[in-house]
Amino acid sequence: MRPTDAPLRLRNTVQTYDWGAYDAIPRLLGAEPDGTPHAELWLGAHPSAPSRAYPAGDPADPASGDGAPSPAGARDSAGRPGDPVPSGDPVADDGVTLHALIRSAPDAMLGKRVADEFGPRLPYLLKVLAARRALSLQVHPKPHTAREGFNRENRLGLPAGSPKRSFHDDQHKPEMLVALTQFEGLAGLRGTRAALSLLDGLGGKLVDDVVGALRADRSATGMRAAFDVLIRARQDTGCRADIERTVDSVRERLAAGSPFERADRTVVDLADQHPGDPGAIASLLMNRFTLEPGEALFTPAGELHAYLSGVGVEVMASSDNVLRAGLTSKLVDATALVECASFAARPPVLPEVATSGGRGQVQTYRAPVPEFALTLADVDPSENVELPDDGPRIVLCLDGETTLTCGNGATTRLARGASAFVPDAAGALTLTGTGHVVCAWVP
């Protein structure tokens, strides 16, 4: 397949992480839940799981019926493995990876503006995230830390995909999430005074050590020391019993009518999901948030966070770098995390939201980063919706049935669960029909 100035249908990878929900993503894709957790649907060109692109009408076009979605494992949404196709071997019957296609013609696919700023790569990754239970307590690296860490692990000879890796690429990873259902999480750090109030009266040596670090220095330095205590406690053989003592004291406070009911219930829930993990106690140092559908959160690189439950669309710089602090059985790189994270107290960061449209409402979400923005549109048959008119755009239909019309006259239909990559060369982009659609783009 050669680069085109028309929309390209996408087949996308489904990630089956154990924290994923069982039903949200399969139902979006028109499949019956099969008891497998479906955590994330990836739409983009990250080399580890790039989408595959097809011209509309191609026999392998996902809309043709050839590839009814049956996601399983780290596979595309038609059930095919998501391995890249070399740029010199497009394999027309199974599409070409979006990663290879963009590298073959960056100006046509991305536009000169985006290609000049980011090189021959799609700067964002779009996801649908469906969490049944908590993700790991984590932070994403800043640009210089990502480059240094990735190069260091390459020099050490760690293979791509190794569970011993902390850095899977050389990119930072700010991210923005818009809730599709009620969405629960932790993001950013409380002030020291508030954290000490929540810890007051709880049992356990680990809590005593955290309180001592916070009282010794009430600045970000003290919060950093407190987190260092929590992260390194995982190596202590007596940690599990000590944390159980703390969680028991939280349960007792709840039974007595806790003034911190929400925070305490979060500790208990996390301890039930991850027995003996210090991340349950770390949640008391963090801001607890709830997003209602349509509300959004921006997580800068370096911000500690953990998503707890819910379904949302998420856009981020195109990276798979995650440094974990807890609530996980995977690698916890304490040194890298403490180096990368910001320990200054601040509330969760909300992106800028602009609303337009009449009967069909359009909301555009902007974060203070150059890689991405999101537009969510409720499309009404009485009026057209104008989407961003240049750069690389990925459009996903969340519900209903809509038609994309490009400035050059090319059209493609998107029903629920269908997606398309619209290259810069296609020009202006208009939506018609009835449905709920998300569009990722480069501001």
Mind listing the pLDDT tens digit for each residue in 245-257?
Answer: 999 999 999 999 9
Average pLDDT along the chain, 443 residues, taken 10 residues at a time: 78 97 98 97 95 78 46 42 33 73 95 97 98 96 90 92 88 96 98 98 97 97 96 90 97 98 98 96 98 98 97 96 91 87 95 90 96 97 94 98 94 96 96 97 98
Contact 327, 306 (CB under 8 A): yes
The reported pLDDT for the residue numbered 36 is 97
Record the tokens describing residue 119, joined without a space.
């090189």
- Three-state secondary structure call for residue 146: helix
Record the tokens describing residue 101, joined without a space.
């296609």
The reported pLDDT for the residue numbered 329 is 86
Q: Distance between CA atoms of 256 and 250, rounded to whole angstroms? A: 10
Rounded to 10 degrees, the C-alpha dihedral 123/188/280/168 comes to 20
Q: How would you classify the pairing of strands 8-11 and 429-441? A: unpaired
- Three-state secondary structure call for residue 367: coil
Q: pTM higher than 0.85, yes or no? A: yes
CA-closest candidate to residue 423, choices 398, 397, 389: 389
- Other C-beta atoms lying within 10 Å of the C-beta of residue 55: 17
The reported pLDDT for the residue numbered 87 is 32
The reported pLDDT for the residue numbered 237 is 85
The reported pLDDT for the residue numbered 62 is 67
To which residue do tokens 């993503």 refer? 25
- Three-state secondary structure call for residue 427: coil
- Three-state secondary structure call for residue 351: coil
The reported pLDDT for the residue numbered 311 is 98
E strand or H helix that includes residue 55: strand 52-55
The reported pLDDT for the residue numbered 262 is 98
CA-closest candidate to residue 292, choices 315, 262, 265, 312: 312
Q: Distance between CA atoms of 416 and 63, rounded to whole angstroms? A: 11
Contact 146, 336 (CB under 8 A): no
Q: Give me the helices (H) in 137-260, please.
A: 143-155, 192-199, 205-216, 220-232, 239-255
